[in-house]
C-alpha cells in the first residue's frame, strides 16, 4: 500500500511517495512550469520512477497547493495550510508555529497536537511573498540559491524604499548602478520581505518552536532576516520545499487508515497521469 | 565647519511658547499627581461634554488618542501596534486605538498593572474608569469597550447626538437634544460621584463651565483675527496652542490669561501688517490632523509663499454663544457642546450644503478666510478625518472655485506621508491655484 | 537663439525634444537604463546632432520626469504634471483633460486654454496601475511593445485577472498561455484592467472634454480604445504621444527665457 | 410543488432583480421609499401605505462613481451602496430614509442626500447606548420621522394602521424564525444560500407579499424531497453584512451554513416589536434594544461602577449561545467587512466568548468585491479542515 502527496505550488511542484509504514520512497521537486503543460504529472512520473512504482500502485493521493483543485489523478484536495501544518509537525513534533513563505503567498500557522488550529495569510501583493525575491534575483542575474549566501556578506543594509515588487526591482538596478554593493542591497531586500512576513506572523502570535518552511526557507539570508525581525529562534527542515507534499502524503495515509479502520472504502479517482490546470 | 541650521521661515507667535509650555507642564504634573495617588481617567476627546465635570471633580484625565500620537512620534508605537495585531485586532482599525489596546495589553497582561518602562512621558497609568464618546467616530466608543479585555474598569460612553442638517430644524428638535444631553450628564455626574466616592462641588462646576466657555470664546476671537491679510498666525501656532481649549489642558485661569496674551500679540501683528510668513502668496486651509512628525514640511511650503491661515473644523472652538443666562451648569455645558456640533447648521442649510457636520465649515472658512487652496491630508486609519474630504474638495471647487491638493498619510504609520512627494506636487498645484484665482475673479468672488 | 530643449527622463524611457518657435524640430527616445546621467548626456548629443547645432545654440534646457535631477546641464527642473499640460496644450489647444499613461503611474490632469494645470491626480504606487503592467505582460507574451495594441485589438474575450497585482498577473498570464488562451485575450485583459484604473481616476477628477491621452501608453491603440469605451468618449491622440511631456519642458524652456528677457 | 413562480424560485428571481417589483408598484402609483439599513423602522412606512425598499449594495458591481465621493478606506458596503445610487439605479425611489446606525451609514447618508434628488429624504439619529434617556431621545427621533412622513404623504399616521403594520412585520419576523427552524436538522431543509435569497426578496417587497412568499417557501421546503447536501461542518456566520449568494457559496461548498447572523440573515428578525400603548415606544425599544448588532453599546448593567469581563461578554454575545447549542453549530466564522469598525473591535472579545463556550472560530476579512472570493476560499476550507478533523 502506497500513498502520495502532490503539492502543486505556483512555482514548484513537489511529490512525496510513502509506504504504509510511513517510510519515504521518493521525493521529487520540479518546476510547476505552466509554459510546459505536463509538469505536475511529469514530476509525479519521476517520483514513481524513483520509487519503482506504477501510478496504479498508489492507494490514495492527496493534492495540495495553489494548483490542487484540478489534479486529475488525485483523490482528495486539502489546503496547503493543513498539509504544511501536518508536514511540519511530523518533522518537528514540538512545533507550535509554522511560517511558510511560498511563491504566491505567505502564511503563518498555529499547530496544536499535529493539527492546524489557526492561521493568517497574505496573498494580495507579491511584495510579501517569495516572488519578491525571485523577481529581484532574475533582475540581478543571480541564482535564487545564491541570494542568501551573498546577503550574509553584507556590511550594512540598504533600505529599499519602494514597496511594490516591480518598482523595487527598478530601484535595485538603480542602486547597483550607483555603485552600491550587491550584498548590501540583498540584505536590504531580505529585510524588507522579512519585516512584512513578521508583521503577519505577529498577528497570529508566535509560540515556540517556530518552523520556517516553503521554498524561501532554503534561503539562509531570509532565515537570518526572519530571526532578526521576530527576535526568536527558527527551525528549518532539511527540505523545506517538500513539507507541504510530505504533509499531504501523511494525510493521505491517515485518511486511508481511518476509513479502513471504520470499514469504509474511500472513493478514488481513476489514475490518469494528465496535465493539471489551475483555473476551472 | 559651518553647521547648517534648518531654515525656519514661519514667524511663530511669542505668546504661543508659554501656552505650549503650560500644556506640556500640566501633562507631566498630572502624571505626577496620578502617581501620587490621584484618580486618573482615560478620556476620549468628547467635544466639551465630559471634561468640565471631571475637572470640577479634580480628576486627572489622560487622552489615549493624544497619547497614540505621542507614541507614534517617539517611535514606540510599533511594538504596541504589533501587540494589538497579535491579539487579533484587525489592522485597518484606527492606529491610535491599536496603540492603546497594545499598550493596555502590555501593561495589564504582561506587567500586571505596572506602567511599561519604555512608555514615553511617564506613560498612562491604570485608570479608575474610561470615558468614551459617541461623537465623531465609531472607533471612539468601540475602542474603550474593547479595552475591557485588559482592564476591569467601567466604561461610560458619552452620548452625543448626530443630527441631520435639515432635520435639526424640525420644531422641538433642539429641545430634545438638550433633554438627552442634560439628563445624560446628570447621570454621568452620579456615576463619577460613585466612582470617586465624593460629591460634586456644583459651584466649582459652575465656575469651570464658565471658564471653559470664556477660554474658547477668546480662542475663537484669536482665530477670527487670522482673516487679515497677510495672515498673522500660522496653523502651526494653532496646533501648538489648541490643547488648552480643546482638552482643557492645564489650569483654566492660566489658559485664559495666555489666550488673552495671544490675542494681543496677533492683534498687534494685524495692526502692523505682519504676516506669519515673509511673503504670503497663497492662503491655505489645512484639513484634519497634521503630519506631526514632518512639520518642517510647512517651513518648506512657507518658503514658497504658502501661509496656512485656518485648519480643521474639529479642533476649532464653537461659534460663541451667550450662555450667561443659563443657570444650570449642566445645561450650559450641553448647550455649549451642542453648539460645537450644530453651530454651522443654519448657514449650511441656507447654502444647501448637506454633507455633514464636518464638511460645511470648510466652505465657510475658505470663503471668510479667503483661501486659495486646501491641503487635504486623508489618513489611512482614521476614518473620521478622511471620509468627508472628497466631498469637501468637490464642494470647494464647485461652489467657490477653490482647488484642493490631497496628500495621503497616516496617524501611526508615519512613513506613509512622503514630504518629498508632496513638495513635488506643490508646483503644479500653484498653477492650479493661480488658475482658480482668475476663475474666482471672473465669477465675481472677492479673493 | 531660438532653439530650446526639453528632456524628460522617465522611469522607462527618456524622451527629448528641441523646439524652434514652439514647433518641434527634433526628438529622440532612448531607454532610460540605470544611469540617468548618461542617458541625459546621450540625449543631448543626439538631439543636437539631429538639428545640426552645437550645445551653445540651445538657448535654454528644462528637465523633467522621474530622473530630472540627473540632467545637470538644464537650467531648471519642472514638474512633469506641468510639462505634460503645456505639451498637450501645444498640440491640442482645445484639450481640457489629459490622461498621461507613463511607466510608473497614470496621471490625469485638467488644464485650461493656456495649458495651465487646473487640477490633477495620480494613481497609487502599484505597478498594476501603470504602463509597467503592459511591459511585464508583453514580455511574457514574447511580443514587442509596439505589437501589443494591434494584438489586443483582435481579442473578443479579454480575460479577467484574478488579483490586482502585476507580479501575480504575470504568472497568471503564463498559466493562461499554457491553457491555450489566445495571446490577444490576455493582452486585452491587461488593457481592460488598466482602463478601469484610468476611468476611476478620471471620474474622481471629473471629466471635462475634449480629453487627450499621451505618454507611452497611448501608443497602445487598443488600450486607448478600451479607455474610450469605458468612459464613453473620444480621445485626442497626438502623433507622438510619448514626447508630450518633453515637448512641454521645451516650451517652458522657451517661455521662461522670453519672460526673463522681457522683465530684464 | 413545482410552480416556478412560487417559493424559492420566486425568491431567487427577486434576489436577482430586486427592484423589479418595486418598479411595478411604482408604475401602479405606489410610493417607494428606500432605506439602506435594517435599523430603519419600516413599520412606519408600511402604515402610511409606502413601500419600503432596501437599497442593498451589489457585490458584482465594481465601484466607479463613488470614488469621487468617498475615500477608499471606508466601509465597502456603503461605498458600493452609494455607487449604485450615483449610477442612478435607485432613481425610481420617491424617497430615502437613512439612519445613524454606524458612522459609515451616517456619513454616506449625508453624501447621498447631497448628490441625489429624491422628493423625500429623512435622516434618523440613533443613540449608541440603551440608557433610558437615549431611548426617550430615539422615540423623539421616530416622532420627527413621523412628522416628515406625514408632511410628505399628506396623511396622518393612524394608530390602527400602525398597529396593523407592526403586526404584519412581526408576523414576517416570526415566519423568518420559522424558516430558520428548518435549518436545525442535519442536513438542513434549506440552505444558507437560499435563505440569503429569501431575505433579500423580503426587503424588496411590501410586507404582505413578503409574508406570502415566506409562507409558500416554508411549505415548499418542508415538503421537498431534495434537501441540501450534508457537509462536514455546521457553521454560524457572524457578520455585519452577508447578503450575497456567491460569498455564501464559498462557505456552502464545504459546510452547511445554518445560521447567518447578519443583516442579510436573521439579525432583523430575531425579536418582536411590542405593542405598547405608545406605539412609537415599542418601535424605539425594539430597534434600540432588541436588535443585537455591534453598533449598540451594551454593558452588563446600566452605569455599572464595577466591571467584570465575563459578564460583559455575556451581555454582548450571550444571544449567540442558544443558537449555537440548538442548531448544533460546530464552527463560527467571524466574517468581517474590511473597514467596518463596529464589528472589527468586537473580534477578539467575541473570540474570547466563543472560546469560553467551547466553539471553534475563525476570522475572515473581505472587502465586498468578487475579487475577494478566491482568497477567501482557501481560508474557509482550511478552517473547515481544522474543525472537522
Ligand atoms: N534553492 C532555493 N534557494 C532559495 N530560495 C528558493 C529556492 N528554491 C525556491 N526558493 C524560493 O521559494 C519560493 C517558492 O517556494 P514554494 O514553497 O515552492 O512556493 P509555491 O508552493 O508557491 O510554489 C520562490 O519564490 C523562491 O523565492
Ligand atoms: N510602442 C509601444 N506600444 C505600446 N505601448 C508602449 C509602447 N512604448 C511604450 N509603451 C508603454 O508606455 C510606457 C512607458 O511610457 P512613458 O510615458 O515613456 O513612461 P515613463 O515616462 O515613465 O518612462 C510603457 O510602460 C509601456 O506600457
Ligand atoms: S504594489 Fe507591486 S507587488 Fe504589490 S500588488 Fe501592486 S504590482 Fe503587485
Ligand atoms: S479614527 Fe480618528 S477620530 Fe476616530 S478615534 Fe481614531 S484618531 Fe480618533
Ligand atoms: S455596520 Fe459595518 S458593514 Fe454595516 S454599514 Fe456599518 S461599517 Fe458598513
pLDDT exceeds cutoff 70 at B3: no
Count how many domains chain C has: 2
**Residues facing residue A101 across a β-bridge:** A106
Whether residue C88 lies inside any domain: the answer is: no
Whether residue C191 lies inside any domain: the answer is: yes
Question: What is residue B1's predicted lDDT score, i.e. its pLDDT?
Answer: 39
Q: Which residues of D touch A116 (CB under 8 A)?
A: 382, 385-386
Q: Do D381 and D336 share a structural domain?
A: yes
Cα–Cα separations (whole angstroms), residue B360 to B393, D73, D204: 11, 22, 34
Q: Mutate which of D61, D64, D376 to test chain C, going by most C C-beta atoms within 10 A?
A: D64
Kindly report, residue by residue over B371-400, the tens digit of the pLDDT. 999 999 988 888 888 889 999 998 999 999
Whether residue C162 lies inside any domain: the answer is: yes
Q: Do C113 and C221 share a structural domain?
A: yes
Q: Is the distance from the beta carbon of residue B51 to the nearest atom of ligand 4 less than 6 Å?
A: no
Q: Do C59 and C31 share a structural domain?
A: yes
Whether residue C251 lies inside any domain: the answer is: yes
Question: What is residue C213's predicted lDDT score, i.e. its pLDDT?
Answer: 96
Whether residue C85 lies inside any domain: the answer is: no
Q: How far is B84 from chain A (nearest CA, A)?
A: 8
Q: Do D241 and D351 share a structural domain?
A: yes
Question: In 3D, which of C264, C262, C263, C11 has the Cα closest to residue C135?
Answer: C11
Whether residue D12 lies inside any domain: the answer is: no
Whether residue C163 lies inside any domain: the answer is: yes
Q: Is A119 within 8 Å of chain D by CB?
A: yes
Q: Do D179 and D140 share a structural domain?
A: no
Question: Over the range C118-140, which residues count as b (16 or more CB within 10 Å of their CB) and which as e?
Answer: bbbbbbeebbbbbbbbbbbbbeb
Question: In 3D, which of B216, B175, B181 has the Cα closest to residue B49?
Answer: B181
Question: Whose Cα sits closest to atom 3 in ligand 2?
Answer: C146
Question: What is residue C262's predicted lDDT score, i.e. its pLDDT?
Answer: 47
Ligand with smallest separation from the Cα of C138: 2
- C-alpha–C-alpha distance, residues D383 and D225, integer Å: 30
Give the alpha-carbon dihedral of D282, D288, D293, D294, to 10 degrees: -170
Kindly report, residue by residue over A125-148, the tens digit of the pLDDT. 888 888 889 888 888 888 888 999
Question: What is residue C264's predicted lDDT score, i.e. its pLDDT?
Answer: 40
User: What are the cell numbers at C150?
Assistant: 494591434
Q: Do D345 and D295 share a structural domain?
A: yes
Contact by Cβ (8 Å): A221, A182: no
Contact by Cβ (8 Å): D370, C162: no
- In the DSSP assignment, the letter for residue A157 is P
| pLDDT confidence band for D1 (50 / 70 / 90) | very low
| pLDDT confidence band for A279 (50 / 70 / 90) | very low
Tell me how many degrees the CA angle C183-C185-C187 measures, rounded to the nearest 5.
70
Kindly report, residue by residue over D60-105, the tens digit of the pLDDT. 888 888 888 898 889 999 999 999 999 999 999 999 999 999 999 9
Question: Whose Cα sits closest to atom 8 in ligand 3?
Answer: C165
**Residues facing residue C15 across a β-bridge:** C8, C29
Contact by Cβ (8 Å): C86, C248: yes
0.80 exceeded by pTM: yes
Q: Do C228 and C120 share a structural domain?
A: yes
Q: Do C106 and C6 share a structural domain?
A: no
Kindly report, residue by residue over B195-236, the tens digit of the pLDDT. 999 999 999 999 999 999 999 999 999 999 999 999 999 999
**Residues facing residue D98 across a β-bridge:** D123
What is the three-class DSSP state of B141?
helix
Query: Last residue of some domain: D114, D136, D158?
Result: D158
Whether residue D219 lies inside any domain: the answer is: yes
Question: What is residue C162's predicted lDDT score, i.e. its pLDDT?
Answer: 76
Q: Do D307 and D236 share a structural domain?
A: yes
Q: Is B90 within 8 Å of chain D by CB?
A: yes
**Residues facing residue D362 across a β-bridge:** D333
Give D344 Cα–ligand 5 centroid separation in angstroms. 10
Q: Is the distance from the beta carbon of residue B382 to the nearest atom of ligand 4 less than 6 Å?
A: yes
pLDDT exceeds cutoff 90 at D279: yes
Question: What is residue C23's predicted lDDT score, i.e. its pLDDT?
Answer: 86
- What ranges in B74-172 are assigned the alpha helix state H? 77-86, 95-104, 139-146
Query: What is the mean pLDDT of the segment spanning D134-140?
Result: 96
Kindly report, residue by residue over D310-333, the tens digit of the pLDDT. 999 999 999 999 999 999 999 999
Give the alpha-carbon dihedral of A28, A31, A33, A37, to 10 degrees: -20
pLDDT exceeds cutoff 60 at C164: yes
Q: Which residue of C has its CA nearest to D67?
A: C204
Kindly report, residue by residue over D57-71, the tens digit of the pLDDT. 998 888 888 888 898
Helices (H) and strands (E) in chain D, counts: 16, 8
**Upper half-sphere CA count for residue C23 (Cβ side, 13 Å):** 4
Question: What is residue D328's predicted lDDT score, i.e. its pLDDT?
Answer: 95
Cβ C34–A163 below 8 Å, yes or no? no
Q: What is the CATH number of the domain that holds D79?
A: 3.40.50.11890
| pLDDT confidence band for D4 (50 / 70 / 90) | low
Whether residue D152 lies inside any domain: the answer is: yes
Highest mean pLDDT among A199-203, C100-104, D167-171, D370-374: D167-171
Q: Is the distance from the beta carbon of residue B146 to the nearest atom of ligand 4 less than 6 Å?
A: no
Lowest-confidence segment of B295-309, C34-48, D225-239 by average pLDDT: C34-48
pLDDT exceeds cutoff 60 at C258: yes
Question: What is residue C260's predicted lDDT score, i.e. its pLDDT?
Answer: 59
| B181 Cα distance to chain centroid | 21
User: What are the cell numbers at A87?
Assistant: 508536514
What is the three-class DSSP state of A252?
helix
- C-alpha–C-alpha distance, residues D65 and C230, integer Å: 13
Q: What are the φ and ψ backbone dihedral angles of D95, each rounded to 5 degrees?
A: -175, 170
Question: What is residue A24's predicted lDDT score, i.e. its pLDDT?
Answer: 84
| More confident call, B6 vs C240 | C240
- Long-range pairs of D162-166 with CB within 8 A, sequence gap ≥ 24: D162/D43, D162/D44, D162/D47, D162/D279, D163/D275, D163/D279, D164/D47, D165/D43, D165/D44, D165/D46, D165/D47, D165/D207, D166/D43, D166/D47, D166/D273, D166/D275, D166/D279, D166/D282, D166/D283
- C-alpha–C-alpha distance, residues B353 and D113, integer Å: 10
Question: Whose Cα sits closest to atom 4 in ligand 3?
Answer: A125
Cell numbers 502651526 correspond to B236
Q: Do C233 and C104 share a structural domain?
A: yes
Ligand with smallest separation from the Cα of B92: 4
Q: What is the CATH number of the domain that holds C221?
A: 3.30.420.40
Question: What is residue D249's predicted lDDT score, i.e. its pLDDT?
Answer: 94
Strands (E), A94-248: 97-101, 106-112, 115-122, 210-213
Query: What is the mean pLDDT of the segment spanning D344-354?
Result: 95
Question: Whose Cα sits closest to atom 4 in ligand 2?
Answer: C220
Q: Do D122 and D88 share a structural domain?
A: yes
| More confident call, A201 vs D332 | D332
Question: What is residue A278's predicted lDDT score, i.e. its pLDDT?
Answer: 47
Whether residue C136 lies inside any domain: the answer is: yes
pLDDT cut 70: percent of chain B above it: 98
Q: Do D88 and D39 share a structural domain?
A: yes
Cβ A79–D385 below 8 Å, yes or no? yes
Question: What is residue C35's predicted lDDT score, i.e. its pLDDT?
Answer: 79
Whether residue D10 lies inside any domain: the answer is: no
Count how many domains chain D has: 2
Cβ C204–D64 below 8 Å, yes or no? no
Q: Do D263 and D130 share a structural domain?
A: no
pLDDT cut 70: percent of chain C above it: 97
> Does the ipTM exceed 0.90?
no
Nearest residue, CB atoms, C78 vs list B390, B427, B435: B427
Q: Do C34 and C120 share a structural domain?
A: no
Q: Which residues of D touch C196 (CB under 8 A)?
A: 62, 64
User: Where in the sequence is the domain holding C63, given as residue range(s)?
Assistant: 1-80+243-264
User: Where in the sequence is the domain holding D30, given as residue range(s)?
Assistant: 20-158
Question: What is residue D324's predicted lDDT score, i.e. its pLDDT?
Answer: 96
Whether residue C87 lies inside any domain: the answer is: no
Q: Do C202 and C140 share a structural domain?
A: yes
**Residues facing residue C235 across a β-bridge:** C211
Cα–Cα separations (whole angstroms), residue A105 to A129, A238, D1: 5, 21, 48
Query: Last residue of some domain: D138, D158, D178?
Result: D158
Contact by Cβ (8 Å): B412, B72: yes
Question: In 3D, which of D364, D324, D331, D320 has the Cα closest to residue D233?
Answer: D331
pLDDT exceeds cutoff 60 at B56: yes
Kindly report, residue by residue over D193-220, the tens digit of the pLDDT. 999 999 999 999 999 999 999 999 999 9
Question: What is residue B172's predicted lDDT score, i.e. its pLDDT?
Answer: 94
Torsion over CA: B413, D101, B376, B143 (sign): negative
Q: Do D373 and D238 share a structural domain?
A: yes
Kindly report, residue by residue over C1-22, the tens digit of the pLDDT. 689 999 999 888 899 999 988 8
| pLDDT confidence band for B348 (50 / 70 / 90) | very high
- C-alpha–C-alpha distance, residues D333 and D366, integer Å: 12
Question: What is residue B278's predicted lDDT score, i.e. its pLDDT?
Answer: 93
Question: What is residue A34's predicted lDDT score, i.e. its pLDDT?
Answer: 55
Whether residue D60 lies inside any domain: the answer is: yes
Contact by Cβ (8 Å): D35, D97: yes
Whether residue D8 lies inside any domain: the answer is: no
Question: What is residue A36's predicted lDDT score, i.e. its pLDDT?
Answer: 38
**Residues facing residue A106 across a β-bridge:** A101, A122
Q: Do D239 and D148 share a structural domain?
A: no
Backbone region of residue B304 per phi and psi (left: phi > 0; alpha: psi in -120 to 50; beta: other values): alpha
Q: What is the CATH number of the domain that holds D360?
A: 3.40.50.11900
Whether residue D1 lies inside any domain: the answer is: no
Contact by Cβ (8 Å): C136, C127: yes
Q: Do D232 and D357 share a structural domain?
A: yes
Whether residue D374 lies inside any domain: the answer is: yes
Q: Mutate which of B167, B187, B408 to test chain D, going by most D C-beta atoms within 10 A?
A: B167
Q: Do C219 and C100 share a structural domain?
A: yes
Q: Do D205 and D312 share a structural domain?
A: yes
- C-alpha–C-alpha distance, residues A114 and A111, integer Å: 6
Query: Last residue of some domain: D126, D158, D190?
Result: D158
Amino acid at each position: 500500500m502506497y500513498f502520495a502527496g502532490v503539492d502543486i505550488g505556483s512555482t514548484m511542484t513537489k511529490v512525496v511517495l510513502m509506504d504504509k509504514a510511513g517510510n519515504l520512497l521518493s521525493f521529487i521537486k520540479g518546476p510547476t512550469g505552466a509554459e510546459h503543460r505536463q509538469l505536475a504529472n511529469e514530476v509525479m512520473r519521476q517520483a514513481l520512477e524513483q520509487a519503482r512504482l506504477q501510478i496504479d500502485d498508489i492507494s490514495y493521493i492527496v493534492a495540495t497547493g495553489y494548483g490542487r483543485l484540478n489534479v486529475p489523478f488525485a483523490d482528495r484536495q486539502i489546503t496547503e495550510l493543513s498539509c504544511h501544518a501536518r508536514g511540519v509537525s511530523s518533522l518537528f513534533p514540538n512545533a507550535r508555529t509554522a511560517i511558510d513563505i511560498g511563491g504566491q503567498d505567505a502564511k503563518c500557522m498555529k499547530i496544536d497536537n499535529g493539527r492546524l488550529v489557526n492561521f493568517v495569510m497574505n496573498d494580495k501583493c507579491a511584495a510579501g511573498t517569495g516572488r519578491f525575491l525571485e523577481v529581484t534575483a532574475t533582475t540581478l542575474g543571480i541564482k535564487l540559491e545564491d541570494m542568501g549566501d551573498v546577503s550574509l556578506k553584507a556590511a550594512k543594509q540598504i533600505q529599499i524604499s519602494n514597496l511594490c515588487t516591480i518598482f523595487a526591482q527598478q530601484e535595485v538596478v538603480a542602486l547597483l548602478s550607483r555603485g552600491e554593493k550587491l550584498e548590501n542591497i540583498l540584505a536590504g531586500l531580505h529585510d524588507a520581505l522579512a519585516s512584512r512576513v513578521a508583521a503577519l506572523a505577529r498577528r497570529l502570535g508566535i509560540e515556540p518552536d517556530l518552523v520556517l518552511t516553503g521554498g524561501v526557507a532554503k534561503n539562509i539570508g531570509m532565515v537570518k532576516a526572519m530571526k532578526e525581525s521576530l527576535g526568536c529562534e527558527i527551525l528549518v527542515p532539511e527540505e523545506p520545499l517538500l513539507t507541504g507534499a510530505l504533509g499531504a502524503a501523511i494525510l493521505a495515509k491517515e485518511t486511508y487508515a481511518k476509513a479502513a479502520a471504520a470499514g469504509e472504502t474511500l472513493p478514488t479517482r481513476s489514475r490518469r497521469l494528465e496535465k493539471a490546470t489551475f483555473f476551472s | 565647519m559651518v553647521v547648517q541650521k534648518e531654515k525656519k521661515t514661519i514667524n511663530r507667535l511669542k505668546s504661543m511658547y508659554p501656552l505650549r509650555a503650560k500644556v506640556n507642564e500640566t501633562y507631566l504634573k498630572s502624571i505626577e499627581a496620578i502617581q501620587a495617588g490621584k484618580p486618573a481617567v482615560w478620556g476620549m476627546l468628547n467635544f466639551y461634554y465630559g471634561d468640565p465635570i471631571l475637572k470640577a471633580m479634580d480628576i486627572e484625565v489622560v487622552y489615549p488618542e493624544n497619547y497614540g500620537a505621542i507614541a507614534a512620534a517617539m517611535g514606540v508605537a510599533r511594538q504596541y501596534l504589533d501587540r494589538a495585531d497579535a491579539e487579533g485586532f484587525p489592522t485597518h482599525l484606527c492606529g491610535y486605538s491599536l496603540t492603546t489596546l497594545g499598550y493596555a495589553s502590555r501593561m495589564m497582561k504582561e506587567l500586571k498593572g505596572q506602567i511599561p518602562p519604555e512608555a514615553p512621558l511617564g506613560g498612562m497609568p491604570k485608570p479608575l474608569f474610561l470615558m468614551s464618546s459617541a461623537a465623531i467616530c465609531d472607533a471612539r466608543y468601540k475602542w474603550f469597550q474593547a479595552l475591557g479585555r485588559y482592564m476591569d474598569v467601567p466604561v461610560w460612553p458619552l452620548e452625543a447626538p448626530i443630527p441631520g442638517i435639515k432635520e435639526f430644524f424640525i420644531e422641538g428638535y433642539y429641545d430634545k437634544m438638550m433633554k438627552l444631553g442634560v439628563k445624560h450628564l446628570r447621570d454621568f455626574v452620579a456615576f463619577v460621584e460613585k466612582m470617586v466616592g465624593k460629591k460634586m462641588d456644583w459651584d466649582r462646576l459652575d465656575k469651570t463651565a464658565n471658564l471653559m466657555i470664556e477660554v474658547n470664546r477668546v480662542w475663537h476671537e484669536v482665530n477670527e483675527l487670522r482673516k487679515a491679510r497677510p495672515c498673522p498666525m500660522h496653523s502651526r501656532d494653532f496646533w501648538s496652542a489648541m490643547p488648552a481649549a480643546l482638552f482643557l489642558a492645564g489650569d483654566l485661569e492660566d489658559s485664559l490669561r495666555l489666550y488673552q496674551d495671544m490675542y494681543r500679540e496677533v492683534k498687534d501683528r494685524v495692526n502692523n501688517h505682519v504676516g506669519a510668513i515673509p511673503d504670503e502668496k497663497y492662503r491655505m486651509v489645512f484639513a484634519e490632523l497634521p503630519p506631526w512628525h514632518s512639520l518642517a514640511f510647512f517651513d518648506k511650503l512657507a518658503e514658497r509663499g504658502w501661509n496656512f491661515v485656518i485648519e480643521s473644523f474639529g479642533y476649532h472652538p464653537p461659534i460663541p454663544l451667550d450662555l450667561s443666562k443659563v443657570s444650570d451648569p449642566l445645561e450650559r455645558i450641553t448647550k455649549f457642546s451642542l453648539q460645537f456640533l450644530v453651530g454651522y447648521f443654519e448657514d449650511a442649510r441656507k447654502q444647501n450644503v448637506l454633507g455633514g457636520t464636518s464638511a460645511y465649515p470648510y466652505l465657510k472658512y475658505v470663503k471668510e478666510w479667503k483661501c486659495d487652496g486646501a491641503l487635504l491630508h486623508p489618513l489611512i486609519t482614521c476614518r473620521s478625518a478622511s471620509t468627508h474630504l472628497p466631498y469637501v474638495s468637490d464642494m470647494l471647487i464647485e461652489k467657490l472655485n477653490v482647488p484642493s491638493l490631497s496628500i495621503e498619510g497616516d496617524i501611526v504609520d508615519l512613513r506613509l506621508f512622503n514630504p518629498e512627494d508632496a513638495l513635488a506636487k506643490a508646483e503644479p498645484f500653484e498653477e492650479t491655484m493661480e488658475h482658480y484665482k482668475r476663475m474666482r475673479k471672473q465669477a465675481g468672488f472677492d479673493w | 537663439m531660438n532653439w530650446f530643449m526639453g528632456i524628460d527622463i522617465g522611469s522607462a524611457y527618456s524622451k527629448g525634444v528641441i523646439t524652434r518657435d514652439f514647433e518641434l524640430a527634433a526628438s529622440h527616445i532612448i531607454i532610460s537604463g540605470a544611469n540617468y546621467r548618461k542617458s541625459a548626456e546621450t540625449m543631448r548629443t543626439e538631439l543636437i546632432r539631429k538639428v545640426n547645432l552645437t550645445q551653445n545654440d540651445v538657448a535654454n534646457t528644462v528637465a523633467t520626469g522621474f530622473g530630472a535631477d540627473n540632467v545637470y546641464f538644464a537650467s531648471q527642473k519642472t514638474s512633469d504634471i506641468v510639462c505634460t499640460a503645456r505639451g498637450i496644450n501645444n498640440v491640442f489647444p482645445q484639450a481640457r483633460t489629459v490622461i498621461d499613461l507613463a511607466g510608473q503611474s497614470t496621471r490625469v490632469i485638467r488644464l485650461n486654454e493656456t495649458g495651465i494645470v487646473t487640477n490633477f491626480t495620480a494613481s497609487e504606487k502599484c505597478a498594476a496601475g501603470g504602463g509597467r503592467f503592459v511591459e511585464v505582460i508583453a514580455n511574457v507574451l514574447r511580443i514587442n511593445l509596439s505589437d501589443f495594441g494591434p494584438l489586443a485589438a483582435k481579442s473578443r474575450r479579454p480575460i479577467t485577472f484574478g488579483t490586482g497585482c502585476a507580479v501575480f498577473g504575470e504568472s497568471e498570464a503564463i498559466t493562461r498561455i499554457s491553457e491555450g488562451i489566445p495571446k490577444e485575450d490576455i493582452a486585452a485583459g491587461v488593457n481592460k484592467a488598466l482602463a478601469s484604473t484610468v476611468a476611476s481616476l478620471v471620474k474622481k477628477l471629473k471629466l471635462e472634454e475634449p480629453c487627450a491621452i499621451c505618454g507611452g501608453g497611448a501608443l497602445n491603440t487598443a488600450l486607448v480604445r478600451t479607455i474610450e469605451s469605458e468612459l464613453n468618449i473620444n480621445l485626442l491622440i497626438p502623433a507622438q504621444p510619448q514626447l508630450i511631456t518633453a515637448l512641454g519642458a521645451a516650451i517652458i524652456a522657451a517661455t521662461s527665457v522670453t519672460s526673463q528677457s522681457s522683465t530684464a | 410543488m413545482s410552480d416556478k413562480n412560487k417559493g424559492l424560485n420566486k425568491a431567487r428571481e427577486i434576489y436577482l432583480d430586486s427592484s423589479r417589483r418595486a418598479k411595478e408598484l411604482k408604475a401602479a402609483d405606489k410610493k417607494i421609499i428606500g432605506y439602506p439599513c435594517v435599523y430603519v423602522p419600516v413599520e412606519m412606512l408600511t402604515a402610511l401605505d409606502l413601500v419600503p425598499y432596501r437599497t442593498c449594495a451589489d457585490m458584482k458591481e465594481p465601484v466607479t462613481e463613488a470614488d469621487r465621493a468617498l475615500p477608499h478606506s471606508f466601509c465597502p458596503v456603503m461605498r458600493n451602496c452609494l455607487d449604485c445610487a450615483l449610477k442612478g439605479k435607485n432613481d425610481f425611489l420617491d424617497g430615502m430614509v437613512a439612519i445613524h446606525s454606524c458612522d459609515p451609514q451616517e456619513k454616506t447618508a449625508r453624501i447621498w442626500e447631497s448628490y441625489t434628488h429624491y422628493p423625500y429624504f429623512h435622516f434618523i439619529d440613533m443613540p449608541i447606548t440603551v440608557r433610558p434617556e437615549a431611548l426617550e431621545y430615539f422615540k423623539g427621533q421616530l416622532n420627527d420621522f413621523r412628522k416628515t412622513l406625514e408632511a410628505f404623504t399628506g396623511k396622518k399616521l393612524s394608530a390602527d394602521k400602525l398597529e396593523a403594520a407592526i403586526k404584519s412585520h412581526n408576523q414576517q419576523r416570526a415566519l423568518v424564525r420559522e424558516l430558520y427552524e428548518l435549518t436545525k436538522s442535519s442536513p438542513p431543509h434549506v440552505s444558507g444560500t437560499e435563505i440569503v435569497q429569501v431575505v433579500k426578496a423580503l426587503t424588496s417587497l411590501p410586507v404582505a407579499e413578503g409574508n406570502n412568499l415566506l409562507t409558500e417557501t416554508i411549505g415548499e421546503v418542508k415538503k421537498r424531497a431534495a434537501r441540501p447536501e450534508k457537509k462536514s461542518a455546521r457553521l454560524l456566520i457572524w457578520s455585519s453584512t452577508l447578503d450575497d449568494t456567491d460569498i455564501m457559496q464559498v462557505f456552502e461548498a464545504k459546510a452547511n451554513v445554518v445560521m447567518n447572523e447578519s443583516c442579510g440573515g436573521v439579525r432583523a428578525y430575531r425579536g418582536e416589536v411590542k405593542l405598547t400603548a405608545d406605539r412609537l415606544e415599542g418601535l424605539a425599544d425594539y430597534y434600540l434594544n432588541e436588535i443585537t448588532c455591534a453598533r449598540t453599546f451594551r454593558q452588563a448593567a446600566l452605569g455599572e461602577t464595577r466591571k467584570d469581563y465575563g459578564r460583559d461578554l455575556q451581555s454582548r454575545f450571550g444571544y449567540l449561545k442558544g443558537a449555537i447549542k440548538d442548531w448544533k453549530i460546530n464552527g463560527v466564522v467571524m466574517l468581517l467587512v474590511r473597514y467596518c469598525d463596529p464589528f472589527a473591535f468586537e473580534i477578539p472579545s467575541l473570540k474570547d466568548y466563543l472560546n469560553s463556550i467551547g466553539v471553534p472560530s475563525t476570522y475572515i476579512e473581505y472587502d465586498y468585491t468578487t475579487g475577494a472570493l478566491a482568497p477567501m476560499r482557501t481560508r474557509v476550507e482550511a478552517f473547515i479542515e481544522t474543525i472537522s478533523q
